[in-house]
Amino acid sequence: MSQTYDYQQILNTIEESLRPYCNRGDIADYIPELAKIDSDQFAMSLCFNDGREYSVGDFRTPFSIQSISKVFVLTIAMQLVGEELWGRVDREPSGNAFNSLVQLETEMGIPRNPFINAGALISTDVIIQETNNAYDEILDLVRRISLNQNIKFNEKVANSEYSEGDRNAALAYFMKSFGNINSTVDELLRVYFAHCSIEMNTLDLARSFLFLANGGIVPYTGDVIIPAGSAKRINSIMMTCGLYNNVGDFAYSVGLPAKSGVGGGIAAVLPGEFSLAVWSPGLNENGNSLRGIKGMEIFTSLTNQSIF
């Protein structure tokens, strides 16, 4: 099925179709460094398990992946502690804001899922506690799966987030009061904001999600990242929890497991086939890329390729 389409032409069509949406949406200006980004940018990259790659737009421009990094830290946490992780974080959609304290109090310091901020703090805490250097552990994984040894943290973005990180500090202290955080809150926040600041372009990002489209194995190298069963579980959590409070609408309109970030990126996979990454900084009211969601919807509509 995947060989019957001119994918480059499809991406070109998507880019052209989205021109009326230029400058729509809001930049995540509550993070000072992200407030400086030009919202009139768009990129999309498509990578297949068999090595074919297609891109359009500003696909060589790096951007801060923000909450997309939660997929990577979840992957590492699952590698390190396996099923033990699920005693500390649940796997259900939250229905609340990604940085909400309300649900966390009701549920005794157990985050609803690993893709809200509190849940990602748990994954980050696992990495700090179980490895000698959490920063190196995270960068090593991202470089392996993206095939780009130059991937790095953006210290300006990380420091910018740290300076405005009171809500995340509150989440961390609250969970620590329930015994669900073992690191110091300061170290936890510094590692957390570091991995959120990782810079990639859409081609890097699409490549980095291919292991989830290929049963836990990087298809270009044969590098085994996680067992196939773990890849299936991460994909299922992306499907139900990956786009904040847009997750139901995204499943309806796009139909792919995906994770978004307030930097304007979205990465999605069709297991057994491909990964797809899009970037456009203008966000909708739920903190997801407005043009990114529309672009992915057009893609799955034109190709009839989704999990449904």
Is residue 308 domain-resident?
A: no
Is residue 295 domain-resident?
A: yes
Is residue 168 domain-resident?
A: yes
- Backbone φ, ψ for residue 28 (5° rounding): -75, 75
Pick the catalytic residue: 39, 55, 70, 247?
A: 70
Pick the catalytic residue: 73, 218, 254, 262?
A: 262
Pick the catalytic residue: 89, 244, 259, 289?
A: 244
DSSP of 28-54: -TTSTTGGGS-S---EEEEEETTS-EE
The number of helix segments (H) and strand segments (E) in the chain equals 13, 9
What value does the mean pLDDT take over residues 299-305?
97
Task: Give pLDDT tens digits for 22-55.
Answer: 878 888 888 888 888 888 899 999 999 999 999 9
Whether 262 is catalytic is: yes
Handedness of CA 139, 260, 297, 13 (dihedral sign): negative
Whether 36 is catalytic is: no
DSSP designation for 291? H
Task: Give pLDDT tens digits for 67-123.
Answer: 999 999 999 999 999 999 999 999 999 877 667 788 888 889 999 999 999 999 999
Number of domains the chain is built from: 1
CB atoms within 10 A of CB 286: 17
The pLDDT assigned to 152 comes to 97
Whether 301 is catalytic is: no
Task: Give pLDDT tens digits for 178-232.
Answer: 999 999 999 999 999 999 999 999 999 999 999 999 999 999 999 999 999 999 9
What is the C-alpha R_g of the chain?
18
Pick the catalytic residue: 39, 54, 192, 254?
A: 192
Is residue 147 domain-resident?
A: yes
Is residue 156 domain-resident?
A: yes
* Domain CATH code at residue 173: 3.40.710.10
Pick the catalytic residue: 39, 45, 55, 67?
A: 67
Task: Give pLDDT tens digits for 109-164.
Answer: 999 999 999 999 999 999 999 999 999 999 999 999 999 999 999 999 999 999 99
Strands in the chain per DSSP E: 43-48, 53-57, 63-64, 199-200, 217-218, 223-224, 258-260, 265-270, 274-279
Instruction: Please choose, from the candidates 265, 267, 263, the residue with its C-alpha nearest in 3D space to the C-alpha of residue 211.
Output: 267
Instruction: Please choose, from the candidates 265, 266, 141, the residue with its C-alpha nearest in 3D space to the C-alpha of residue 211.
Output: 141
Domain encompassing residue 244: 2-302
Beta carbons within 8 Å of 175's beta carbon, 6+ residues apart: 104, 109, 111, 118, 121, 122, 181
Instruction: Please choose, from the candidates 276, 295, 288, the residue with its C-alpha nearest in 3D space to the C-alpha of residue 48.
Output: 276
The pLDDT assigned to 97 comes to 67
Is residue 307 domain-resident?
A: no
Is there a contact between 138 and 76 (Cβ–Cβ < 8 Å)? yes
CB atoms within 10 A of CB 186: 11
Is there a contact between 216 and 230 (Cβ–Cβ < 8 Å)? yes
Question: How sure is the predictor about 2, in pLDDT bands with cuts at 50, 70 and 90?
Answer: very low
